[in-house]
Amino acid sequence: MSMFLQACVNGLLMGGFYALMGMGQNIIFGVMKIVNFCHGEMLMVGMYLTLILYTYFGVDPYLAVPLVALVMFCFGAVIQHTLITPSLGTKSFTNLLFLTVGLGLLLSNGALVIFGSEYRSIRTGYSQTYIQLGPVNMALPRLISFGVLIVVAITLFAFLKYSTLGKQIRAVSQNPVGAEVVGIDVKKIYLLTYGLGVALAGIAGALLTQFYTVFPTAGASFGLRALIVVVVGGLGSIPGAFLAGIFLGLLETMSALFISPSYSDLIVFMTFIIILVLRQTIIARRR
């Protein structure tokens, strides 16, 4: 039972990162209807930004989160304005697919050239601090990171539901032509949305640095899992992405506990395929 509870806690803590990545991916898809295949590389850039701030300026990784989010937002807005917007005019999914895949390769190989292939890590005074709650042992950095993720998720929900900009984002996601007719600047919303999605990936990367090594291809596995979260949780659904991320984290830890850690990825992808097949079957029957 203690091992089961420990696996549940570990799954929830890791699922929070998958949820945040999935929400960032989903907000981009929900508004712009594009799949951001370089989302994992955005997480990697956030990790290196946090590493630079800690190594050269002594900024604590958690205190660096707002600054990393701001820089990543601006970075995403520049990419949207210079690269994504011209490709949106072509209305070609293929162009956007190759653009985002190529951008991801550019970012990962650029990091390889600048920082090398070495695995780097951040070790603070509380990196090895653990909290014992009954039979469950939790690392303090993971617990703090999960708390920050929950705050970010709640803030995102409230922003989209109650703020004026959030309502404009929802309006553009439902009907961009109708939103433009009533005076909403759709191009500005696209800029804001892509920047927000990239900022969420940067926040996840900053929070990961406390217990995950930093290297040029660190975001690849997280980017792939973000796509799984988006599909499982529903394309364009922010609450669905949050729940799917938690489910994915629990599925990984439970499969590692009851079957084998070497089969956890296989079970995740098999479950993903089964969900896709069942969803298509249900849609076909409803039609």
CATH no. for 2-286: 1.10.3470
Residue-wise pLDDT tens digits, 105-114 = 999 999 999 9
Q: Which of 81-85, 185-189, 196-200, 279-283 is the least confident region?
A: 279-283
What's the pLDDT band for 282 if we cut at 50, 70, 90? confident
Sign of CA dihedral 39, 240, 194, 158: negative
- Domain extent listing, the chain: 2-286
d(C-alpha 95, C-alpha 228), whole Å: 22
What's the pLDDT band for 29 if we cut at 50, 70, 90? confident
Q: What global pTM score does this model have?
A: 0.92
DSSP string, 22-76: HHHHHHHHHHH----TTHHHHHHHHHHHHHHHHHHH---TTTTHHHHHHHHHHHH
What CA–CA distances, in Å, run from 69 to 7, 179, 195, 199? 30, 28, 9, 5
Amino acid type, 164: T
Amino acid type, 267: I
Alpha-carbon Rg for the chain, nearest whole angstrom, is: 19
The pLDDT of residue 239 is above 90: no
Return phi, psi of residue 89, to 5°: -65, -25
DSSP string, 186-255: HHHHHHHHHHHHHHHHHHHHHHHTTTS-B-TTTHHHHHHHHHHHHHHH-TT-HHHHHHHHHHHHHHHHHH
Q: Can you give the pLDDT at residue 113?
A: 95
The pLDDT of residue 221 is above 90: no
d(C-alpha 130, C-alpha 133), whole Å: 10
User: How many percent of the chain have pLDDT more than 70?
Assistant: 99
Could you tell me which residues are beta bridge partners of residue 130? 139
Contact 182, 189 (CB under 8 A): no
Residue-wise pLDDT tens digits, 44-65 = 999 999 999 999 999 999 999 9
The pLDDT of residue 223 is above 80: yes
d(C-alpha 68, C-alpha 234), whole Å: 28
